[in-house]
Structure 1
């Protein structure tokens, strides 16, 4: 896949993160190009902020880095690293990169929004912007035509202001919104719900998977978390709200439990849920990272994982494969990786390539739970 984006006599070299050999996916899409083309003739003030939300791999951040004071907002550690790498590769000035829970810069002149997959996050961001934006701020959103529904436009109308759309170009569309400050309302609080059969109370921020109930895969996996006195170090990889790691901590109070996710909102939810559900959090830690990049080899006895099968809006299995390989590297001899996945994903075939033994320890009509031993 070609890594060069060329528009308006300018070329950027852009790569996805993590970098893979023989990458088949490019680091930008038609919505990025549409936004860049639309904004090309704008007269921007160098001293007023440009605010970019949900940039996938840095195409927008890199393009506008020299045109003003750019602040990019992302909930993704992977996106953050991609932006930093692509800015460096193109010798562009540094920009400000913040997570979705951080305070936004005041008095922005332009807001560019890539439509997130999660409408809960979009609603949360629109409400946040309504409090912040001045009347003269230009707000433009972009996404694939197939992902922009009448319900999407109603969210913009409800939380930010009058909304219109562009014609479709290369299966992408722009959304133009005029800020109406009268719509500003108190920011919504994280959702909270219970899992009574496991005596858990769970809090979720807007971009955490399955925001108002325990997802069926996670619920099934809870019944297969082992309790063994020899466990010293346990990892919940791709922890989400932390429900799996918290249950593991309860079952194994002697062990150090580390929860890892690439979502800043997931990590924040996990920390709050540990405070709510654990009597002793001294042995419980939460990290934002790309899989297990910074973990020492042979440093864990058990890894628990409910792997995703998409990155942003792209269906892919490379994240799951990286998780499996990282777990194999980090596990001690005879250490165990326990995962859950949809039956059709055939994760056992991948696990058999890198683990000594793979057993099915649970299954139902939809899911299979596998234990891979190093």
Structure 2
């Protein structure tokens, strides 16, 4: 894997996170990062207080701080891993981490900025939410966004024009494109979070903008709901990659003595899960904790009886199974002897083989044409 990036005339060593991932062909930066940095350093080199949104692995923050100009960067991300990667890459390149302020996606944005840089997220609703936040900033702050040319659509530009000044775009370079706009000091309210009733229950689910399957119950969770545990044992259960927390919510309902830990690397997911327990089962809150984390990193070995998981098979735009594999390996570490990992996955992903190799056992407890529900026990 290439780790040396040429950004703004400087060579930086950049690592993609998690560091232990098996797919080492994926880079920690892309052509849009290169284009954006080159443009900013040529046309806005005097900007000192820069707001950066969605800096995947810290490439933008590192590049902005690697020049002789004194800058303060505010790095806003929904991703725990993105902030981890940025901190690591700053140290790797002997850059001062104190020059970066980290905010999650639910924090208020600072007003004292000279320039806004934004990597266009794949999630159009999340982009709209972020543009809504930018619309609340003072007028005439330059906003420059970057993304793959093929992913910047007419609808993307309409979203910019709805919240900010009418945008213009650059020519494409290396299949990347820039979007130019400005703040107007005319706030436009975000439509998020959104809420909808959970079918066949009395629950109403609230979902922040960057939550997976934000607008309706995803079909995987709908099938997994049929295979969730029940009973009165006081088990310690982890909803790993919890999203809006629907799986943990139903588990709390059917296991009145269980203690639930909701874990996701998305700040908006963890907030949504907490909102949904607070609104639907407030009496169960004392049995819950909510943690934004890189899977189960730093969790205590042998501390859980059951891990429930609907693992992702992508990281941002990259299709990859390394997060699922990390979840399985760390679940084995965290489970007690005799503890269970119960997952749902698309049938074609062949998680059964992975779990058999890792745990030495795996059984199918449910399937249909699209999904398989698997159970594996930590024996050793």
Instruction: Output the TM-score relative to the length of structure 1.
Output: 0.95
2:124 aligned residue: 119
Q: Matches of residues 235-274 of structure 1 in structure 2 within 5 Å?
A: 235-274=238-277
1:366 aligned residue: 370
1:139 aligned residue: 143
Q: Which runs of 5+ in 1 are unaligned?
A: none
1:227 aligned residue: 230
Distance 2:206 2:229 in 1: 24
Maintained 8 Å contact 1:115/1:143:
yes
SS in structure 2 at match of 1:282: helix
Instruction: For residues 3-52 of structure 1, give each alpha carbon's deviation from its aligned partner in whole angstroms, at most 9, with x where no partner exists.
Output: 11124542111101110366211110000000011112235446x52000
Maintained 8 Å contact 2:210/2:269:
yes
Distance 2:45 2:111 in 1: 16
1:25 aligned residue: 26
Maintained 8 Å contact 1:231/1:302:
no
Q: Matches of residues 163-182 of structure 1 in structure 2 within 5 Å?
A: 163-182=167-186
Maintained 8 Å contact 1:231/1:301:
no
Q: Matches of residues 164-313 of structure 1 in structure 2 within 5 Å?
A: 164-182=168-186, 184-278=187-281, 279-313=283-317
Return closer, same or farther for 1:14/1:222 CA change in 2, 3 Å cut-off: same
2:93 aligned residue: 90
Return closer, same or farther for 1:21/1:316 CA change in 2, 3 Å cut-off: closer
Maintained 8 Å contact 1:239/1:245:
yes
Maintained 8 Å contact 2:77/2:104:
yes
SS in structure 1 at match of 2:42: coil
Return closer, same or farther for 1:370/1:69 CA change in 2, 3 Å cut-off: same
Measure how far apart 1:267 and its partner are.
Answer: 0.7
Distance 2:164 2:151 in 1: 19
- Pick from 98, 104, 125: which aligns with 2:109? 104
SS in structure 1 at match of 2:260: strand
Q: Are positions 1:61 and 2:64 aligned together?
A: no
Maintained 8 Å contact 1:49/1:105:
no
Q: Matches of residues 157-168 of structure 1 in structure 2 within 5 Å?
A: 157-168=161-172
Measure how far apart 1:231 and its partner are.
Answer: 4.9
Instruction: For residues 60-92 of structure 1, give each alpha carbon's deviation from its aligned partner in whole angstroms, at most 9, with x where no partner exists.
Output: 011113641110100000001000101111111
Instruction: Output the TM-score relative to the length of structure 2.
Output: 0.94
Maintained 8 Å contact 1:50/1:69:
yes
Instruction: For residues 287-313 of structure 1, give each alpha carbon's deviation from its aligned partner in whole angstroms, at most 9, with x where no partner exists.
Output: 000010121111111100000111111
The alignment yields a C-alpha RMSD, in angstroms, of 1.5
Maintained 8 Å contact 2:364/2:372:
yes
Measure how far apart 1:218 and its partner are.
Answer: 0.8
Maintained 8 Å contact 1:208/1:240:
yes
Distance 1:236 1:186 in 2: 32
Measure how far apart 1:332 and its partner are.
Answer: 1.2
Maintained 8 Å contact 1:249/1:284:
no
Maintained 8 Å contact 2:195/2:207:
yes
Measure how far apart 1:224 and its partner are.
Answer: 0.5
Query: How many aligned residue pairs are there?
Result: 371
Distance 1:350 1:311 in 2: 19
1:328 aligned residue: 332
- Pick from 318, 323, 344: which aligns with 1:319? 323
